[in-house]
Amino acid sequence: MASLPKEPPEDARKQSFWMPGNYVRTVHRTEQSFQACNDIVACFMERAKVEKQYAQQLSQWSSKWKSIVDSRPLYGSLMRAWQCFFTSTERLSALHSSISQSLVGEEGERVKTWQKETFPKKIFCGFKESHENGTSFSRAQKPWSKKLIKLEKVRAAYHKACQREQAAQDKEKQANENSEMSPEKKQKFTEAREKATEEKEKIRDRYEKMLEDVTSYTPRYMEEMEAIFEQSQEEERKRISFLKQAFLSIHRHLDITNNESVKAVYSELHDTLMSINEQEDLRWWKNNHGPGMPTDWPKIEEWVPPVKKLKRRKRDQRGKEGRPGSVPES
């Protein structure tokens, strides 16, 4: 899963998986995959915070403007349409709050649990998979590497023998071109060149035999290395497959364009906006604040005399005087 830097074309052979020690990139892939899981969790936990903050801001916006709108002189279907934005926003706020909780509680925990089960650790050896792959690769490559080291030594010896032969040939040529040099001395240069050639051929023979040994062992080496590599590939395939499903699950949470609740919110909002009826609103205003209001036009009103009321003190006195059994004061 971890991307590796591109190597220059001239280093392709040295960077080959088959060369000694280059399998470590595959071994380290386990650690890189583990870290990638940490990064994925951290990434979408941060997105969860964004969703939560957005939900809070939507709610705050709705509460603020809802109180303002309620005090404004709009009326009728136009007022209902404006207010519908706030009810829609409150539903969207709840939706984004739910998305935040899903990212943390469902996806984050699911990846963490899977990560713990998939990447068992070995005491003092890092990840168990890395340790096992490294040990297996090393064991499979060790015999081939030894042969390769021997081949490299004999190759270097052969090239030096070629250089010595070339130097002897140059000296022999110079001697033969020197007319003043005696035949005996020229013969010595010839013998030196022949000896260098003979030595070169001996080393070349060892070189060819060692190369044949390496070549004959290579199929077995490749088979063992590929078997270990394919096992590592299978583990990585499982990881990629799981994270693909995790990404798709996160996508389903975030893709509100296909969310039926969101579709319902905006569908209802659209219907409310389309229900704005200027004629009905104007008629309502006319009937409640305009010419359509009922009224009593001026007309002659007959005077009605007010009803007289007796004073309380006099009424109380009459009550006492007329009460049976009462004795007048002397």
CA atoms lying within 13 Å on the CB side of residue 313: 0
Find the mean pLDDT for residues 278-285.
88
Domain range for residue 126? 14-143+225-273
pLDDT of residue 22: 92
**Model-level pTM?**
0.71
> pLDDT, tens digit, for every residue of 82-98?
999 999 999 999 999 99
Q: What is the pLDDT of residues 38-54, one digit of tens each?
A: 999 999 999 999 999 99
Residue 104 within a domain:
yes
Give domain status of residue 125, yes or no: yes
- Cα dihedral across residues 40, 45, 47, 51: positive or negative: positive
In a domain, 187, yes or no: no
- Whether 301 maps to a domain, the answer reads no
pLDDT digits (tens, 9 = 90+) for 138-178: 999 999 999 999 999 999 999 999 999 999 999 999 999 88
In a domain? residue 37: yes
β-pairing verdict for 126-127 and 121-122:
antiparallel
| CATH code assigned at 117 | 1.20.1270.60
Task: Characterize 268-280 residue by residue with b for buried, 16 or more Cβ atoms within 10 angstroms of its Cβ, and e for exposed.
Answer: ebeebeeeeeeee
Q: Do the domain assignments include residue 305?
A: no
Residue 75, C-beta contacts closer than 8 angstroms, at least 6 positions apart: 281, 284, 285
For the chain, what is the mean pLDDT?
88
Q: Determine contact, residues 207/154, Cβ cutoff 8 Å.
A: yes
pLDDT value for 25: 93
100 found inside a domain: yes
Look at the chain and report how many structural domains it folds into.
Answer: 1
Q: What is the pLDDT of residue 313?
A: 61
**Tokens representing residue 125 in the block:** 């050896």
* Phi-psi label, residue 52: left if phi above 0, alpha if psi -120 to 50, beta otherwise: alpha
Give the closest residue to 41 by CA, choosing from 237, 255, 243, 239: 243
Dist. CA 153–CA 214, nearest whole Å: 13
Domain-located, residue 181: no
